[in-house]
């Protein structure tokens, strides 16, 4: 795998964050931790289907994670993945390649349908 894999990974990450509503979701989860999709939609004053759609894009990019408890879906930030993106950006800006073990994230993104359009 060439050293440019993380450039594609960063592109997918930033493309998924290129929306004010998604940024608001990320900010709210960063400040408040895990919460149900229903509560998140109420707090952000957005419809539940719209929040779910935005969460699906953020989940495909590895920014949020979801879990089910019965019929309730909870969401939270995947802080480990976000730290990985930060390391990749720092490597890009420093003209370096990030550790090879982080390359697995790119294949996950493409597999989950967040690949290039």
Task: Encode pLDDT of 17-27 as tens digits.
Answer: 899 999 999 99
Q: Which residue range is the domain that position 54 belongs to?
A: 5-98
Q: Read off the DSSP letter of residue 74.
A: E
Residue 65 lies in a domain: yes
> pLDDT tens digits, residue range 63-104?
999 999 999 999 999 998 888 888 888 888 888 776 665 554
Residue 107 lies in a domain: no
Residue 117 lies in a domain: no
- Structural contact between residues 84 and 103, judged by C-beta atoms closer than 8 angstroms: no
Instruction: Work out the percent of the chain whose per-residue pLDDT is above 70.
Output: 79
Domain count of the fold of the chain: 1
Residue 115 lies in a domain: no
Residue 114 lies in a domain: no
- Structural contact between residues 97 and 91, judged by C-beta atoms closer than 8 angstroms: yes
Both structure tokens of 34: 């895990």
pLDDT of residue 102: 55
Residue 116 lies in a domain: no
Whole-number Å distance between alpha carbons of 92 and 80: 19
Residue 66 lies in a domain: yes
Q: What is the CATH number of the domain that holds 86?
A: 1.10.10.10
For residue 28, the surrounding DSSP H or E stretch is: helix 20-32
- Structural contact between residues 74 and 36, judged by C-beta atoms closer than 8 angstroms: yes
pLDDT average, residue stretch 35-59: 96
- Structural contact between residues 19 and 61, judged by C-beta atoms closer than 8 angstroms: no
Residue 106 lies in a domain: no
């Amino acid at each position: 795998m060439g050293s440019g894999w993380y450039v594609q990974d960063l592109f997918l990450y930033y493309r998924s964050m290129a929306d004010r509503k998604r940024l608001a979701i990320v900010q709210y989860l960063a400040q408040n931790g895990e919460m149900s999709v229903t509560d998140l939609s109420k707090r952000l004053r957005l419809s539940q289907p719209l929040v779910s759609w935005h969460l699906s894009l953020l989940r495909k990019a590895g920014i949020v994670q979801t879990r089910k408890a019965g019929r309730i879906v909870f969401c939270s930030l995947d802080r480990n993945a976000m730290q990985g993106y930060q390391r990749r950006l720092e490597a890009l800006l420093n003209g370096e390649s990030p550790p090879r073990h982080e390359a697995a994230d790119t294949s996950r993104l493409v597999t989950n349908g967040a690949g290039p359009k």
